[in-house]
Amino acid sequence: MKKYKTLEAALQRIEKLEKENAVLKEELEYYKKRKASGRQKHNAKWTAIYNDFVECYEGGMTLTEIADRNGISERSIYRYRAYYEQVKKGKD
């Protein structure tokens, strides 16, 4: 850590650090407000697809057909099925 010999130099350094801190706070706020990527929680879109999944799955459609119908990956369909089976266990 550098030692400052004059009060003026120390005050200039403090001012510079305060400006840097303000910039970093703005950046932090950006990241706090930013929407996270990846799989989302059970929002309206998820619920709509899940409800369609349940209807189709109980109607005898294959998982691949359900995935194609909803425009999602087969991996997502397996997640829906796992959730469906978990819910079914809870109701029994």
Q: pLDDT class for 79, splitting at 50, 70, 90?
A: very high
Query: Tokens 């099925």 map to which residue?
Result: 81
Query: pTM for the complete prediction?
Result: 0.55
Give me the residue spans of the domains in the chain.
1-34, 44-91
Does position 62 have pLDDT exceeding 90, yes or no? yes
CATH 2.60.40 is the classification of domain 44-91:
no
- Dist. CA 50–CA 48, nearest whole Å: 5
pLDDT at 82: 94
**More confidently predicted of 39 and 68:** 68
pLDDT at 6: 92
- Dist. CA 56–CA 69, nearest whole Å: 10
Residue 64 CB contacts under 8 Å (≥ 6 apart), including other chains:
74, 77
